[in-house]
Each structure stands twice: as C-alpha cells, then as structure tokens.
Amino acid sequence: MRKKRRRRIGILGGTFDPLHNGHLILGRRAIESFSLDTVLLVPAAQSPLKSRRPPEVSGEYRLEMVRRAAAFDRRFAVWDGEIRRGAPSYTIDTIRELERENPDADFFLIVGQDAFASLDQWKDGDELRRRVSFLVMNRPGTEQDDANGIGGFARRDCGETDERSRREGREQRGVHKLKGPLIEISSSRIRQYLRQCDSVRGWVPDGVLSLIEYYGFYATEEEPEGLRRHRTEVAAAAAALAQRWGASAALAARAGWLHDAYRALDSRIVLSLLESRGEVVDEVERNAPILLHGRLAASRIEANRLGPRDDRVAEAVRYHTTGRSGMSVLETILFVADRVGKDWPDVEAVPEDRGTAVRAVFERKIAILRERNLRPHPRLLEGAREWGVKEDIISGIAAGW
C-alpha cells in the first residue's frame, strides 16, 4: 500500500498591523518554492517581545483583515488560535497545538532573517528546530552576511539527521532560504502613510483597505479610550438618524467613525499636515486649529477613496466642527449625531424633525462659543442663519468680534 503523502503546511505569523500585500507575496512564494499545500496566516494577539509596542488595532479587526485577505486565495487559510488565547503567544505553543490538530502534516515556519538569527532566545528553540522546517526570507542587503546567518546556523544545528523524525516518516527538518523579490512594503510604513493621509492603495488588499478606511484605523498612534467610545457612539447614532431621515445608514456610520479620527492628534500637526497637502486654511481656523481635524479626516478619505459614495462621506466629515450653509442630509446627520450624548442623552431624545434638531445644534454651538469667549467661524454663522437660528443670537455673537 502506498503511504499517504503528508500535507505540507506553511506558517506565516505576525501582528499583521496591518496585513499587506508583501505578506501575501511572501506566502505565495513559499507555496510555490516548497510545494506547500497551504499557508496558514497566524495573527498574534501581541508580540512576545516586550520591547515591541502593542498592536494599534485590536485582535478582532486584525483577524478580520487576515480573513479578508485569505478569502481571495484558496491557498491561504487563517488560524486564529493566538488571538483566541489573547496573551502573547510563543511559536512553540502554536506549533504544538497545530500538530495536534494536523497530525498528518509537516510544518514550515516562514520567518525573517533577523528573527531567525535570534532563535536562541525563542522559547524552547531547540524543540522548535526538531518540529518544523524554517523558510528564512532574505532581506535587502543581507546576502553577504549569510555565513553568520542561515548558512552558519544550518551547518551548526540542522545538518544532522533527526532520528525521531526519520522514525516517524517525516521529512527531515531543515533551514531553507526563501528567495524572492525584495519587498519594501512594511506595516510600519503603511501606518506612517495613513497617519499623514497618504494613499496606501495597492499596498494592501482592497478588502483590507476598505476595513481600515471604514474605521479610520492608523490615524493616530494612541487614541484615548474616551475618544474611541465617542466615535463608536456617534457612528451608531448617525446610523439610527440616517434611518429616521432617509439616508444610507452605512455611509452615516462610516462618517461617524471617521469624523474624529484625527481628533487626538496635536492641532499644530493637523494644521501642518493640511497645509502640506496644499489646503488653504483661513485665519479663524489658524487661530483655532482644533476646528481642522474634520478637514484632515476628509482629506484622508479622499486619499484612499473606496468608491464614488465616499465623496459624500468626506463632505459630511469635512466641516462637522462648524457646519455650514448648504449642508447635505448626511452632513446634517453627522452634525446632529456628534451631539448625542452631550445635548441629548440618546438618539430617541433627538427631535423627530431634522430642521429642529440641526437648529438646536447650531444654537448650542453658539452658546458654547459665547461661554468660552471664542470667535465663531463664519461658516457656523452662515449655517445657523440658513437653519433658522434667530438673528439676534447670530448678530449678538458676531458683533463681539
């Protein structure tokens, strides 16, 4: 009887913060060069290296990115064990679990050369060497260091026959060089581009980009918990108001998520980013750059435009701080939703009539400016006038300046 061929499974782990096309190119390269049946993408809950900062995006969404990427190529599969485990995971624990789940498989761990060079510091590194083969990718400029890297390691540790593996009929473990195109895409560079509102189209799969752009991930490095909650609540309120006032709930929610994506960024940085994008900033905005975070978020939406409907989202987000005359329905929805939890306890308490609700927001914003003795933006006064705020209220605050 012919022995059944053992499956060959590649493992590509990482925080995938975010997943990008370089990961997929690497995985495909491993599949093709080493006749793998599949590559398992294994998102980590957190890096076991303490020196690394925690991922910016939660495990749940990084897992979703990986799933979206794998959905387009049957050769990839997703293993969510590390995310389920929650705590930082060690590769050896993952391998032990995967071996239990797949007793008929040989595993090929895809690692970077720098990670591989530090294998001695990995938990149970010796056991790992016995259990898996390593596919080590070369990095730009590392060819000449080979003697100290893969080659040296292979001679030292992996050259001899592994008796146990042979007894079990497994393929002998080894260290192989994974040659391929040198890919200059990195998650940190993508995060940096997104932070400055540049396009990353083509760097990440479209499904991943739409997830990133729906929630406005990677806008600021650290977002205060309260702000994140506010964005979540505004998204929910905007979706509810969209249903009430006849607009797309999905677009309204997206506007809610994105409107304050740059709110935690230092206002001076917001100002300089906008100006570096060639946008004109007026005098009132320059003196109160806090007003500008909506314009920056709109600029981000345009940079990574997902489709024609995005123009409406950008429009809603752009002037949510001041409002203006000629607001679209979506704009008014965001304008009102932003005040739910402040001027109204919840969406149910918002007046049924859209005009009444919008007018109330303008009045409230004028009252706040008056209390704090701040100058109103002309857009705010134009909008207030159009939505029927009493002239004495408008001219009262305008006269102060």
CB atoms within 10 A of CB 43: 27
* Contact pattern for Fe ion over residues 76 through 115, marking x by CB under 5 A: ----------------------------------------
CB of 320 to Fe ion, least distance (A): 6
Number of residues that bind Fe ion (CB under 5 A): 2
Q: Does 338 bind Fe ion (CB under 5 A)?
A: yes
Assigned token pair, 356: 């009444």
199 vs 203: CA distance, rounded Å: 9
Q: Do residues 125 and 165 make contact, with C-beta atoms less than 8 angstroms apart? A: no
Residue placing its CB nearer to Fe ion in the complex, 227 or 249: 227
Stretch that binds Fe ion, among 155-163, 189-197, 254-262, 275-283 (CB under 5 A): 254-262
Stretch that binds Fe ion, among 151-159, 218-226, 253-261, 370-378 (CB under 5 A): 253-261
3-state secondary structure of 220: coil
CB of 370 to Fe ion, least distance (A): 19
Residue placing its CB nearer to Fe ion in the complex, 226 or 308: 226
Q: For residue 81, give the amino acid letter.
A: G
- Return phi, psi of residue 158, to 5°: -120, 5
117 vs 341: CA distance, rounded Å: 53
CA dihedral sign of residues 227, 228, 231, 232: negative
Residue placing its CB nearer to Fe ion in the complex, 82 or 260: 260
105 vs 171: CA distance, rounded Å: 10
CA dihedral sign of residues 253, 255, 257, 260: negative
Stretch that binds Fe ion, among 76-84, 193-201, 257-265, 308-316 (CB under 5 A): 257-265
- For the chain, report the end-to-end CA distance as a whole number of angstroms: 93
Residue placing its CB nearer to Fe ion in the complex, 62 or 365: 365
Residue placing its CB nearer to Fe ion in the complex, 223 or 338: 338
- Residue from 223, 260, 331, 363 touching Fe ion (CB under 5 A): that is 260
CB of 347 to Fe ion, least distance (A): 15
Residue placing its CB nearer to Fe ion in the complex, 64 or 260: 260
CB of 288 to Fe ion, least distance (A): 13
Q: Do residues 384 and 363 make contact, with C-beta atoms less than 8 angstroms apart? A: yes
Looking at residue 377, the DSSP 8-state letter turns out to be P
Residue placing its CB nearer to Fe ion in the complex, 260 or 285: 260
Q: Does 285 bind Fe ion (CB under 5 A)?
A: no
Helix %, strand %, coil % for the chain, to 5? Answer: 55, 10, 35
CB of 234 to Fe ion, least distance (A): 6
Q: Do residues 200 and 62 make contact, with C-beta atoms less than 8 angstroms apart? A: no
Q: Does 223 bind Fe ion (CB under 5 A)?
A: no
Binding site for Fe ion (CB under 5 A): 260, 338
